[in-house]
């Protein structure tokens, strides 16, 4: 969407940052109303810069910026608090979510609902040691927000998915019922749970992990996710 020259107090999270020139850095953020935005944070790497303790990943911020080009200029950042710092496995999972957004979410493509989903996922990671439900739920929400998600409650022919039936998921088509299930088939009950955003049982968590591997692998293509192999080694992906 077209942006005005100056934006004030936009809810945001930092997804990534890297050095720029001697004392500045470029930050990639996800915002509520303007999607993913890149901007220069001038002087942010100076030892006494007030921004050093504010531009932290996984912390809710209010961001102000200006500029009409793709690379904006940060004007102000204010920490909002309310989310504990992620550590350990939840921290690694948070970096994984950020990588997904950096690779799949186009810049300046507004997705207010996805911003809320990300905020909820970060709060979920900060409040539990069982990270799998938060990961699977956000992966599905991301794909649906970007138009990649299928209706898991209906088959490719529009029929309701049955709890006790088995299905093979086909890209661009959706679930197709099979008579002889194999190890890559998904049970109807698990598909219906995923469609409802319910990840409370082991079968749904396991089968949603298989489905997300298939879907994300397709849409990411050859683009590497540096956190993916680490989380796979920990049996989270």
**123-158 pLDDT, tens digit each:** 999 998 789 999 999 999 999 999 987 789 999 999
**What is the CATH architecture assignment of 6-79?**
Beta Barrel (2.40)
Q: Find out whether 34 and 26 touch, Cβ atoms under 8 Å.
A: no
Mean per-residue pLDDT of the chain? 92
- 88-233 is classed CATH 2.60.120.1600: no
* Residue 3 scores a pLDDT above 60: no
Query: Per-domain residue ranges for the chain?
Result: 6-79, 88-233
Q: Are residues 189 and 203 in contact, defined by beta-carbon separation less than 8 angstroms?
A: yes
pLDDT band per the 50, 70, 90 thresholds, residue 236: low
pTM for this entry: 0.91
Give the DSSP H/E element, type plus range, for residue 16: strand 6-20
Per-residue pLDDT, 229: 75
Gap between the Cα atoms of 99 and 147, Å rounded = 18
Tokens of 146: 């970007």
Cα distances (Å, whole numbers) of residue 176 to 180, 181, 187: 12, 11, 11
Question: Are 6-79 and 88-233 the same fold in CATH?
Answer: no
Q: How would residue 81 be classed by pLDDT, with cut points 50, 70 and 90?
A: confident
- Provide the H-helix boundaries in the chain: 88-104, 112-126, 132-145, 188-196, 202-220, 226-233
């Amino acid at each position: 969407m077209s942006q005005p020259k100056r934006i004030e107090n936009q809810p945001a999270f930092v997804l990534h940052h890297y050095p720029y020139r001697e004392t500045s850095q470029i930050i990639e953020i996800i915002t509520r109303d303007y999607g993913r935005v890149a901007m220069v944070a001038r002087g942010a790497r100076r030892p006494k810069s007030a921004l050093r303790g504010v531009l932290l990943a996984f912390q809710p911020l209010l961001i102000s910026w200006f500029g009409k080009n793709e690379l904006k200029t940060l004007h102000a950042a204010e920490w909002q608090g309310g989310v504990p710092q992620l550590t350990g496995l939840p921290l690694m999972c948070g970096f994984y979510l950020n990588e997904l957004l950096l690779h799949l979410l186009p810049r300046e493509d507004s997705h207010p609902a996805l911003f809320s989903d990300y905020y909820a996922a970060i709060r979920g990671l900060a409040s539990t040691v069982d990270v799998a439900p938060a990961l699977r739920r956000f992966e599905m929400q991301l794909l649906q927000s970007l138009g990649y998600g299928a209706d898991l409650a209906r088959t490719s022919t529009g029929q309701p998915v049955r709890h006790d039936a088995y299905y093979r998921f086909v890209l661009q088509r959706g679930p197709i019922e099979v008579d002889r299930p194999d190890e890559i088939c998904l049970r109807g009950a698990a598909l219906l749970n995923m469609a409802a955003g319910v990840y409370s049982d082991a079968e749904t968590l396991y089968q949603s992990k298989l489905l997300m591997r298939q879907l994300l692998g397709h849409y990411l293509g050859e683009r590497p996710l540096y956190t993916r192999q680490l989380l796979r080694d920990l049996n989270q992906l």
